[in-house]
């Protein structure tokens, strides 16, 4: 007999659609996804691939309010939606929305299993004030189970007192086959893609929001530290957009020789081509719960250079095996890692093959299996 499960999450993120499609196919679940908003246009420029959705879902009416660095989302209609569906389990993505607390209250009143899907880790720089931390612990204490994407999030929940027996792992995933196929096509038509996207013949790649906390200025400094001969051969590409783009571009003008490109935000199809033609992906973030660009780049066969504070680093990258793990805010170590990859073609090929090998285990189906296991475990042990 299938269990009715509601999955509550913020927006229709393209990388989650394959996961939710796989979860909807799961033989033990009757899935309904509730989105708190369709998207967040101030932060996300991606297309919403509604034609790919194969799961039951709805989008709640919402109102978003920003104050400083705060981003507050308010909804109506959740309580009545839960009453109508009457789920046996709720998987809730995060605890920082008003709707998360409303769902927890509904679950407790209706004796429904409640699972927190948490990506936070101990290196996340977004730790709150004392009263916020107290509320977090209160929320965790009233959950029946937890699901995390990897090791860093698992250790963080354990440090907050959550028993390991109540924590399942659903490895963060993207549509590996889609990225791999697009990458293969891009390599077969490399000249056309390079000309259209205005990419250098060889380049180091960053993908993400162009904001200081992503380590973009550290990367630019690391690039400037490369030997002149290497910078003459290998460019640096920042694929994305954000508040710091103008300042970053102005700073980049001081580097000579060297080529620094800003192709802007790329949708999924062009992004796969940019990955495919790059030498390596670099994510020098100061704080990141995971870093799904690493999954995407590995599916395209790239070596990875990532700062150790990225949530994905301990799961996806083995230092010296399929890339390098470096300290955050250390442009010297970052520059050394970049030089090592781009100077050694045989090492790069080995690391590329190992990235493809590793990412096979991080599929939408594997993530769906972890989410299903968390829901079923919580239902069997509900308070």
Class of domain 3-173+363-380: alpha beta
Q: Are 41 and 64 in contact (CB under 8 A)?
A: no
**pLDDT range class, residue 128, cuts 50, 70, 90:** low
Kindly tell me if the per-residue pLDDT of 125 is higher than 80. no
- The pLDDT of residue 382 is above 70: no
Contacts 24+ apart (CB under 8 A), 164-171: 166/377, 168/370, 168/371, 168/373, 168/374, 168/377, 169/370, 170/117, 170/366, 170/367, 170/368, 170/369, 170/370, 170/371, 170/373, 170/374, 171/315, 171/361, 171/362, 171/366, 171/367, 171/370
Q: Any idea what the Cα angle at residue 92 is, between residues 88 and 97, rounded to 5°?
A: 135
Angle at 374 between CA 377 and CA 171, to 5 degrees: 150
pLDDT number for residue 70: 67
- Nearest-Å Rg of the Cα atoms of the chain is 21
Q: Is 70 exceeded by the pLDDT of residue 126?
A: no
Q: For position 315, what pLDDT does the model report?
A: 98
Q: Between these two residues, 168 and 69, which has the higher pLDDT value?
A: 168
Predicted local distance difference test score (pLDDT) of residue 72: 84
- What confidence tens digit (pLDDT) does each residue in 2-53 have? 999 999 999 999 999 999 999 999 998 999 999 999 988 777 778 889 999 9
Q: Is the pLDDT of residue 380 over 90?
A: no
How high is the pLDDT of residue 20? Answer: 98
Mean pLDDT, residues 313-337: 98
User: What's the pLDDT tens digit per position in 175-188?
Assistant: 999 999 999 999 99
Long-range contacts, 306-310 (Cβ 8 Å, 24+): 306/282, 307/215, 307/283, 308/123, 309/123, 309/124, 309/125, 309/285, 310/283, 310/285
Structure confidence at residue 252 (pLDDT): 97
pLDDT of residue 66: 72
Looking at residue 123, its pLDDT comes to 80
**In the predicted model, what is the mean pLDDT of residues 112-118?**
97
Structural class in CATH, domain 176-359: alpha beta
At residue 129 the predicted structure's pLDDT band, cuts being 50, 70 and 90, is confident
Q: What is the mean pLDDT of the chain?
A: 94
Q: HSE of 328 in the Cβ direction (CA atoms, 13 Å)?
A: 18
Q: What is the pLDDT of residues 336-350, one digit of tens each?
A: 999 999 999 999 999
Inform me whether the pLDDT recorded for 369 exceeds 70: yes
The burial of 67, by beta-carbon neighbours within 10 Å (0-12 exposed, 13-18 middle, 19 or more buried), is given as exposed
**pLDDT of 383 strictly over 60:** no
pLDDT at 59: 97
Note the pLDDT of residue 47.
83
Ranges for all domains in the chain classified under CATH 3.40.50.2000: 3-173+363-380, 176-359
What is the C-alpha separation between 50 and 52, in angstroms, rounded? Answer: 5
Would you state the pLDDT for residue 69? 63
| Residue 298 reports pLDDT greater than 80 | yes
Instruction: Please name every residue paired with 203 in a beta bridge, in sequence order, or none if there are none.
Output: 235
Of 1 and 77, the structure prediction assigns the larger pLDDT to 77
At residue 272 the predicted structure's pLDDT band, cuts being 50, 70 and 90, is very high
pTM value is 0.94
């Amino acid at each position: 007999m299938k269990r009715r499960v509601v999955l509550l999450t913020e927006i229709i993120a393209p990388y989650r659609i394959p996961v939710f499609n796989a979860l909807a196919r799961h033989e033990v679940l009757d899935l309904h996804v509730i989105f708190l908003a369709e998207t967040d246009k101030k932060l996300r420029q991606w297309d919403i691939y509604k034609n790919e959705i194969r799961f039951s879902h709805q989008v709640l009416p919402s109102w978003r309010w920003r104050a400083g660095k705060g981003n507050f989302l308010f909804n109506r209609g959740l309580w009545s939606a839960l009453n109508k569906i009457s789920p046996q389990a709720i998987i809730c993505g995060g605890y920082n929305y008003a709707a998360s607390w409303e769902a927890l209250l509904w679950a407790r009143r209706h004796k429904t299993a409640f699972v927190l899907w948490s990506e936070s880790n101990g290196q996340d720089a977004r730790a709150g004030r004392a009263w916020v931390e107290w509320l977090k612990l209160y929320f965790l204490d009233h959950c029946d189970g937890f699901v995390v994407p990897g090791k860093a999030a698992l250790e963080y929940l354990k440090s907050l007192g959550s028993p390991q027996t109540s924590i399942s792992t659903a490895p963060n995933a993207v549509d590996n086959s889609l990225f791999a196929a697009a990458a293969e096509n891009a390599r077969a038509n490399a000249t056309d893609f390079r000309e259209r996207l205005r990419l250098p013949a060889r380049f180091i790649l960053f993908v993400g929001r162009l904001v200081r906390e992503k380590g973009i200025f550290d990367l630019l400094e690391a690039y400037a530290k490369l030997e002149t001969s290497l910078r003459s051969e290998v460019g640096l590409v920042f694929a994305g957009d954000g508040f710091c783009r103008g300042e970053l571009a102005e700073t980049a003008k001081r580097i000579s020789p060297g080529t620094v490109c800003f192709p802007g935000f790329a949708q999924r199809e062009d992004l796969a081509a940019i990955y495919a033609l790059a030498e390596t992906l670099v994510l020098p973030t100061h704080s990141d719960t995971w870093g799904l660009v690493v999954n995407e780049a590995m599916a395209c066969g790239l070596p990875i250079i990532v700062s150790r504070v990225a949530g994905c680093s301990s799961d996806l990258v083995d230092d010296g095996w399929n890339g390098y793990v470096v300290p955050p805010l250390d442009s010297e170590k970052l520059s050394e890692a970049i030089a090592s990859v781009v100077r050694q073609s045989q090492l790069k090929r080995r690391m590329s093959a190992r990235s493809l090998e590793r990412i096979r285990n991080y599929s939408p189906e594997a993530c769906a299996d972890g989410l299903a296991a968390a829901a079923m475990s919580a239902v069997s042990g509900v308070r």
